[in-house]
Amino acid sequence: MSTTETSLGGYGLSAAESSLGQALAVIHCVLPHLNESDYAVRVQAALRHAAGFIEAARKAHAQDTGLPVTANAQETVEAETVAVIAAAISVLLGTAYKVVAVQPLVVPPPHLNVWAFEGRTQLFMSHKVR
C-alpha cells in the first residue's frame, strides 16, 4: 500500500484504491439499467462519473508510486479496461497488488499452412463414420 493512506472506514485504503472502489460501485449500480432506454441519460452520466473516479485513481497511483503513466498508455488503453483488469486481479489474487502498467498486446495471427489443413481434411474424410 502507499504511504498516503486514507482511513476509509478503518480499512486503510489508499486514495487510488478508494477512487477505484467508488468507480466500481457506480458501475455496479448502473449495470441493471444498461438495456433500459428510460435510463440512458442517467447511465451515460454515471459512466462518465465512474470514468472521473478512474482518472482520479490513476493520478493518485502515479503520485504514490512516482511512476507517471505515459501519454501513449493513456491513448491505447481505456480507463474502463484498466478498472476491469484491476478488479479481475483483485478477485483472482485475493491479496494486495499493484498494477504498474497496462499495455495492449498485439498478437500476430497464427500461421495457417493450407496444405497441412487439406491433408488433415482428406485424412478425416477417408475414415468410415460409424
| Tens-digit pLDDT profile for residues 80-97 | 888 888 888 888 888 878
Cα separation, 90 vs 97, whole angstroms: 7
State the pLDDT at residue 43. Answer: 87
Residue 53, domain member (yes or no): yes
How many residues can be counted in the chain? Answer: 130
127 lies in some domain: no
- C-beta neighbour count of 96 within 10 angstroms: 8
- Quote the number of domains for the chain: 1
In a domain, 40, yes or no: yes
Residue 35 domain flag = yes
Residue 4 has pLDDT above 60, yes or no: no
Q: How many CB atoms lie within 10 A of CB 102?
A: 14
Q: Which amino acid is at 112?
A: L
Residue 74 predicted with pLDDT over 50: no
- 60 belongs to a structural domain: yes
Report whether pLDDT(106) > 70. no
Does residue 11 lie in a domain region?
A: yes
pLDDT at position 7, please? 44
Flag whether 37 is in a domain.
Answer: yes
> Looking at residues 53-71, what average pLDDT do you find?
78
User: Which residues constitute the domain of residue 91?
Assistant: 5-103
Mean pLDDT of 37-56: 88
Residue 2 confidence (pLDDT) above 70: no
Instruction: Give a yes or no: residue 15 inside a domain.
Output: yes
Contact indicator for 32, 21 with CB cutoff of 8 Å? no
